[in-house]
């Protein structure tokens, strides 16, 4: 008998069909994963199982323990939510109420569904927190969400979800917002709790890696349809659908060519130190050192990968090397033979064309009120003021073509493009200036896997064509392995390990790098 049975589920918002005829079952105690890229309808499917979509037009059948969920009254449904079906969300910071302590929030569920007294509920809340492995659970129960780290918050969310021993736990991208090493801890926790409680888990994710080590069965979604469902082993060894094969294949292979042996050094930085002043009270300040005494060197046409978890100072370092950081920066930086660390903003301006940046979020990095032509052409107009309007247009068109976009799109605005296309536009903006160095700050992390792969290929191709050097910042070791010649691994503002990327990523010396590698589930195939 199955715990959850979904038959011909179709969800529409107005005239757009988001989920199209999806059917699957989950047995008691089974871990089922729905995998798909953004917009494939996986989250909407999960939310409709709790009927949490007020505006949606849902048809089909959802049977939970042989009860029809779609036909239940709202009151009956509330009994089910939180008690029999619980949910954890991607971003625990927004899913937890910032004005209540987490102990309070867990106790609320217990009082509501199990009728416990406030005292008993508070004690159970501490027990539950202890179970999720939060250190000092009695003290943490009195903390507010913002006082906890991301991992701890997610543990608190899990404690809340497990409070009433649900039969089905829906986990919507539970680890996406977390660092790799913490991702693994959370997954292990979920695994262990699932075994202890014998509950079923519906995991929703875009990350195939995650699924491989966790789920019993996997369903792959594309454009709102469930195109393939199979046991995890079967799916990974013999994917049936072309789309699944493409998803599996989009694990980055090594894409970069070799650096020319006579490449001249382009960027050399010594003793770079970046610090922020944190106000303490009215007049005192505390210094927070984000980057501590780092040496960086980069040759023409070379890619240096900068790896680290969030808060390790890798972005601050990247921005400091280009003299774009707002942090207090010390140290000597020499770019193309010129000491840029001592330059005034005005002196730096002509050099800006030589060093460009591509940011992580293509939705934030393009000004929404300017056309693509204006966005891409802005740098050219500034640095080559003698270009005529026609020449400028031509250069912009050529730049767009270079990144695989049609020049006919020039008069469009950013909102008319997909995430991958926007990232291409951002690359074109950097590229038209023919820079010697591009800082790539997590350029693919906000993109879907298959798009990620295309953007990486584009970047690798452009590097070979123009001999540009990349500073490639990423937390994703697979991406770094595909793109970087050399790697530095950062932790708490310091370099813990550096070397050729092949060496560092196959036989890491430092325990932190080893942990990162293990966490990233990085098989050296």
Partner 1 sequence: MTNTAMTPEISLSPSRRVWRRFRQNRRGYWSLFIFVGLFVLSLGAELISNDRPLVARYNGQLMFPLVTDYAETAFGGEFDSPADYLDPFIQSQFDKPGNWAIYPINRYRFDTLNYFAKAPNPAPPTGDNWLGTDDRGRDVVARLLYGFRVSILFGLALTITGVMLGVLTGAVQGYFAGKTDLLFQRFMEIWGSMPELYLLIIFASIFEPSILLLLVLLSLFGWMGLSDYVRADFLRNRNLDYVQAARAMGLSNWQIIWRHVLPNSLTPVVTFLPFRMSAAILALTSLDFLGLGVPPSTPSLGELLAQGKNNLDAWWIALSTFAVLTITLLLLTNIGDALRNSLDVRRKS
Query: Which residues would be at the binding site for partner 1 (CB under 8 A)?
Result: 319, 322, 324, 348-353, 355-357, 359-361, 364-371, 378-379, 382-383, 404, 406, 408-409, 411-413, 415-418, 420-421, 426, 429, 433, 439, 454
**Nearest to partner 1 of 71, 415 (CB atom):** 415
The least CB distance from residue 404 to partner 1, in Å, is: 6
Instruction: Report the C-alpha dihedral over residues 142, 145, 151, 157, rounded to 10 degrees.
Output: 80
**Nearest to partner 1 of 255, 519 (CB atom):** 255
Give the Å distances, CA to CA, from 42 to 116, 206, 221.
35, 9, 7
Reading the block at residue 29, the tokens are: 């105690």
**Nearest to partner 1 of 168, 433 (CB atom):** 433
**CA-wise closest residue to 151 among 163, 135, 128:** 135
**Nearest to partner 1 of 109, 357 (CB atom):** 357
Strands of 4-13's sheet in order across: 16-26, 4-13, 57-64, 67-68
Report the alpha-carbon distance of residue 339 to residue 508 in Å, rounded.
34
**Nearest to partner 1 of 286, 415 (CB atom):** 415
The least CB distance from residue 241 to partner 1, in Å, is: 18
Strands of 355-358's sheet in order across: 355-358, 437-441, 469-474, 303-307, 486-491, 494-500
The least CB distance from residue 510 to partner 1, in Å, is: 31
The least CB distance from residue 313 to partner 1, in Å, is: 17
The least CB distance from residue 134 to partner 1, in Å, is: 32
**CA-wise closest residue to 410 among 390, 396, 420:** 396
| R_g of the chain, CA atoms, integer Å | 25
Report the alpha-carbon distance of residue 15 to residue 19 in Å, rounded.
12
**Nearest to partner 1 of 61, 434 (CB atom):** 434
The least CB distance from residue 379 to partner 1, in Å, is: 4
Q: What are phi and psi of 7, to 5 degrees?
A: -125, 125
Three-state SS annotation for 424-493: HHHHHHHHCCCCCEEEEECCCCCCCHHHHHHHHHHHHHHHHHHCCEEEEEECCHHHHHHHCCEEEEEECC
Could you tell me if 360 and 439 are in contact, meaning their C-beta atoms sit under 8 angstroms apart?
no
Report the alpha-carbon distance of residue 309 to residue 520 in Å, rounded.
12
**Nearest to partner 1 of 143, 360 (CB atom):** 360
The least CB distance from residue 136 to partner 1, in Å, is: 35
DSSP states of 94-135: HHS-TTS-HHHHHHHHHHHHH---HHHHHHHHHHHHHHTT-S
The least CB distance from residue 438 to partner 1, in Å, is: 10
The least CB distance from residue 411 to partner 1, in Å, is: 5
In three-state secondary structure terms, 311 is coil
**Nearest to partner 1 of 154, 325 (CB atom):** 325
The least CB distance from residue 107 to partner 1, in Å, is: 36
**Nearest to partner 1 of 170, 430 (CB atom):** 430
The least CB distance from residue 256 to partner 1, in Å, is: 21
Long-range contacts made by residues 273-282, C-beta under 8 angstroms, separation at least 24? 273/329, 273/330, 273/331, 274/313, 274/316, 274/317, 274/320, 274/325, 274/327, 274/328, 274/329, 274/330, 274/493, 275/327, 275/328, 276/327, 276/328, 277/328
Residues 6 or more apart whose CB falls under 8 angstroms from that of 104 comprise: 125
The least CB distance from residue 255 to partner 1, in Å, is: 17
**Nearest to partner 1 of 260, 398 (CB atom):** 398
**Nearest to partner 1 of 159, 455 (CB atom):** 455
Report the alpha-carbon distance of residue 475 to residue 189 in Å, rounded.
22
The number of beta carbons lying within 10 Å of the beta carbon of residue 494 is: 15
**Nearest to partner 1 of 201, 298 (CB atom):** 298
Report the alpha-carbon distance of residue 260 to residue 483 in Å, rounded.
16
């Amino acid at each position: 008998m199955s715990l959850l049975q979904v038959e011909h589920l179709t969800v529409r918002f107005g005239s757009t069909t988001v989920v199209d005829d999806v059917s699957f079952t989950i047995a008691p105690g089974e871990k089922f994963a729905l995998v798909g890229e953004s917009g494939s309808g996986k989250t909407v499917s999960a939310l409709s199982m709790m009927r949490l979509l007020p505006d949606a037009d849902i048809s089909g059948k959802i049977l939970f323990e042989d009860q029809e969920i779609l036909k239940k009254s709202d009151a009956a449904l509330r009994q089910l939510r939180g008690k029999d079906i619980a949910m954890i969300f991607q971003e625990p910071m927004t899913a937890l109420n910032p004005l209540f302590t987490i102990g309070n929030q867990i106790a609320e569920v217990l009082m509501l569904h199990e009728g416990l007294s406030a005292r008993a509920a508070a004690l159970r809340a501490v027990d539950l927190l202890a179970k999720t492995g939060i250190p000092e659970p009695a003290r943490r129960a009195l903390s507010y969400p913002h006082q906890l780290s991301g991992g701890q918050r997610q543990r608190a969310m899990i404690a809340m979800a497990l409070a009433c021993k649900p039969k089905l736990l829906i986990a919507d991208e539970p680890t996406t917002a977390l660092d790799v090493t913490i991702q693994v801890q959370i997954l292990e926790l979920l695994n262990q709790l699932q075994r202890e409680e014998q509950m079923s888990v519906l995991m929703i994710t875009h990350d195939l890696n995650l699924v491989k080590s966790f789920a019993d069965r996997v369903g792959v979604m594309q454009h709102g349809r469930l195109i393939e469902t199979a046991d995890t082993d079967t799916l990974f060894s013999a994917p049936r659908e072309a789309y699944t094969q493409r998803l599996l294949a989009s694990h980055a292979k090594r894409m970069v060519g070799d650096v020319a042996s006579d490449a001249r050094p382009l960027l050399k930085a010594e003793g770079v130190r970046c610090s922020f002043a944190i106000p303490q009270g009215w007049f005192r300040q505390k210094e927070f050192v984000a980057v501590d005494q780092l040496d960086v060197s980069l040759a023409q046409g070379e890619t240096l990968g900068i790896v680290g978890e969030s808060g390790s100072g890798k972005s601050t370092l990247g921005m400091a090397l280009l003299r774009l950081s707002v942090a207090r920066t010390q140290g000597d930086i020499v770019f193309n033979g010129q000491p840029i660390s001592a330059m005034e903003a005005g002196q730096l301006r002509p050099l800006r064309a030589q060093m460009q940046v591509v940011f992580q979020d293509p939705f934030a990095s393009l000004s929404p009120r300017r056309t693509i032509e204006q966005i891409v052409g802005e740098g050219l107009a500034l640095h080559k003021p003698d270009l005529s309007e026609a020449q400028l247009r031509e250069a912009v068109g050529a730049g767009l073509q270079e990144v695989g976009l049609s020049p006919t799109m020039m008069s469009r605005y950013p909102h008319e493009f997909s995430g991958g296309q926007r990232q291409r536009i951002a690359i074109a903006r950097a590229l038209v200036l023919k820079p010697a160095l591009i800082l790539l700050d997590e350029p693919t992390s906000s993109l879907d896997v298959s798009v990620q792969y295309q953007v990486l290929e584009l970047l690798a191709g452009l590097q070979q064509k123009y001999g540009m050097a990349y500073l490639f910042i990423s937390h994703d070791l697979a991406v770094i392995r595909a793109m970087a010649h050399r790697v530095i691994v950062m932790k708490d503002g310091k370099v813990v390990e550096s070397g050729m990327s092949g060496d560092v990523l196959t036989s890491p010396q430092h325990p932190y790098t080893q942990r990162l590698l293990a966490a990233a589930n990085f098989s050296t195939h």
